Chain A
Amino acid sequence: MLLPDLREDFPLLTRTVRNGKPLVYLDSGATAQKPRVVLDAEREFYEQHNAAVQRGAHLLAEEATELFEGARGDVASLVGAQSQEIVWAENATAAVNLVASGIGNASAGIGGDEAARFKIGPGDEICVTETEHHANLVPWQALATRTGATLRWIPVDDQGRMILDDLDSLVNERTRVLAFTHVSNVTGLISPVGALVARAKAVGALTVLDGCQSVPHLPVDVKALDIDFMAMSAHKMLGPTGIGALYGRKELLDALPPSIFGGGAVKVVTMEETSWQEAPMRFEAGSQPVAQAVGMGAAARYLAGVGMDRVEAHEREIAAVMRAGVAEIPGVRLLGPVGSADARDVIGVASIAVDGVHPHDVGQVLDDAGIAVRVGHHCAQPLHRKFGVTGSTRASAHVYTTREDAEAFVAAVATVPAFFGVN
């Protein structure tokens, strides 16, 4: 069930690359292209309404504030949250850090009584998984270092699936946080959110979901998933660079101390001390990425307009075409589940290793054919180490990806072994 061809909406997709070749853009997992409505929303903001939000008493400030808060509502709707549960952040990485540093700050005595529930220290545990992007791993390592808590992780098997056999001992009464990705940016595997959340709830651990690769590609409802926090990035959701968002349950957000301190986030400031506003304001210190919020709101509306269930169906099919295609090429190894039955939990991505050819070299041959893919470890070194490779070549899709794009990828990969004389 493919979507109609939406490339018309995306100005960049008409450009040509090496030697005038048409562009086949298969690097949406790194960053997506932007529809015209997003670019227009930003530009119109700058040309008609640009002003500091929330504080001004003039017309432009009122208009800017209305657009800014409206965008918050649009992003909230896309994921089933309340407006006030959406905090703007520079990117998904910053969103995860906001939670981790907030817990660190609570543990260091910042935030008073209401923050006490977040305090962690030696003897406490934080649990992640082996499939995490560095963005949802390194902040927790740092929190462990800072507080003396212990970091544990759920391992994955050689197809990249989380091994839940020891879940009950890995997530136990000492576990305070369980952080995991919704969709892997390397294998495209959809995580068993239900089982993980249930276990976290049973032991009273906070759940932090990395929604970077799910929110842009499938329907996500934070209330149905029953998670506590979720990070997302606009630039992967057809939105602008420079902005992302954190979803957090309101009562948690109102108690978590901030980790970026400054104007706008505060209630009363004396030279000696400061009290903070409620969420989301307490986390939005300094002038916010206002035009980008407006753009992210427009992107959320665009995605909702296409329909996230249709987006999901589209991306499953594109993934299937790419994965089935490369799996047949001798000397090419598909990372993650292989075979149509196993692949049913996979969306939007095909990462491969070509025997005897380094991913950089694979990428170079594809680039020469006008095909843009990502090479390297995709910020998931532990997972690649598990697969026994330092890097891979990843093709990733979005709403504008066509069957022809997927087929072009497969055809170009087939030329690689011969080019490097390895078959």
Chain B
Amino acid sequence: MTTQPTVVIHKKEMKRCVLFTLAGRFDSSTARQLEEALQLTLNAGHFNLVLNMAGVEYMSSAALRVLISTAKECRKTLNGGDLRLAAVSPRVQQVLDLAGLDTLFQSFESEVEAVGSF
């Protein structure tokens, strides 16, 4: 049964990056929660971010907007941060492809590889 739209955004600070584990349905309502979580991290001065997308069932253009703006902010820092993706499902890949974003985000099969890339 549905209650309110729910997503899970789990954040873990690692040595060289911050790892977010995302799950659920990211539409224009819940994308806002993602935006807030990422913005807080940027405000705290962390610009190396990994998003583990394995649990993301659904993602609309509203979520892409958040990924794009966050990635831009990361990259424009002096030390050159980045937002990288891990464990992208075929569904999420389809949405990235549609937006022509597939080549613009570094994407890794597993969380470990993505974290290890920083």
A and B from one assembly?
no
Q: CB within 8 Å of B: which residues of A?
A: none
